Copies of this chain bind each other. A is one copy, B any other.
């Protein structure tokens, strides 16, 4: 059900300024921290003595100390002390998982540790690169991660789910503009849609600074199993496309459990980089938008559980990109089930400068 041989986001890098964090990933409770030497560590959040979560204890130097009888474990999972005795029992250790910091995120590999090549981390460099400003946040969604993939690959839902934010209640629906869907290297799906000469919805009026008519386009890009990027471009109709305001919205999904997903997101833009008020305005607007998705997704999950079924039921044209992504995922799950050492190198989400996406059109 989960792809294991892949890098998932375990958290934002700045979260590791805390002594430790506890988080369930792929249904495994973990305690994660950064040592004083800058080494990142993720280990089972469970003392091998009497099962108490290590996160209920405390950080002592670069070790985690259990809060019940005081056994200590270092960043590599080894037991370093047992109160009341000098020898360390062989069984006294906890499992650890490869962890790497990159692009402002900390990534974790829950599969075969021998395959955890940092070169396989998806390139989402815009998140902390010069030339881009980032508004970021986190939502915990009580839904299977594939429902979020579906949602992010069919942006026509904006008309109905986000009518008060990024959708536009007054003109054509987004579905009226056909999306061109392409698949690359058995692991990437793109759905690109052009929306010329439309009334700017509230979110984009904020971006531009005033109500106006705009040319808008959007690409929904999905990397199996759960990395998503929305490229959003707009410019007033009277301006040139090269002047477009481009936003890259990263939606980095990490399965928490079969019924819940960590949703780390960042809206990065190439304009008004130093406008802190805009950064905060985009953060708030994005957060409100994802609140709306959260509501729909969690209801959908409850319906699936209640009816003991999986979606979809009736196929419509808008499902093309989500359906292709689901097929790639099934294929990948099958490969990994057959070969626990199966690994895929992720293709780039977009060429270096996302304008290239436009040129493809």
Minimum C-beta distance from A306 to chain B (A): 9
For A71, the chain B residues whose CB sits under 8 A away are 316
Asked if A303 meets B91 with Cβ closer than 8 Å, knowing A82-B316, A83-B176, the reply is no
A52 pairs with B318, CB closer than 8 A: no
Could you say which of A31-39, A157-165, A277-285, A351-359 contacts chain B? A157-165
A175 and B313 alpha carbons, distance in the complex (Å): 57
Across-interface contacts of A315 in B (CB, < 8 A): 89
Q: Number of A residues contacting the other chain (C-beta, 8 Å)?
A: 49
Determine the distance from Cα of A87 to Cα of B146 in the docked complex, in whole angstroms: 27
CA of A32 to CA of B176, assembled, Å: 30
Counted per complex, copies of this chain come to: 3
B311 touches A50 (CB 8 A): yes
Q: Which residues of B contact A80 (CB under 8 A)?
A: none
Give CA–CA (A159, B173) in the complex, Å. 63
Q: Spell out A's residues near B (CB within 8 Å).
A: 46, 48-53, 56-57, 65-71, 82-85, 89, 91-92, 150, 154, 156-157, 159-161, 173, 175-176, 178, 296, 299-300, 303-304, 307, 309, 311-318
List, sorted by A's number, 26 A–B pairs whose CB atoms are closer than 8 Å: A46-B307, A48-B313, A49-B316, A51-B303, A51-B313, A53-B303, A56-B299, A66-B160, A67-B161, A68-B157, A68-B160, A68-B296, A69-B154, A69-B156, A69-B157, A69-B175, A70-B160, A82-B316, A82-B317, A83-B156, A84-B175, A84-B317, A84-B318, A91-B313, A92-B314, A92-B316
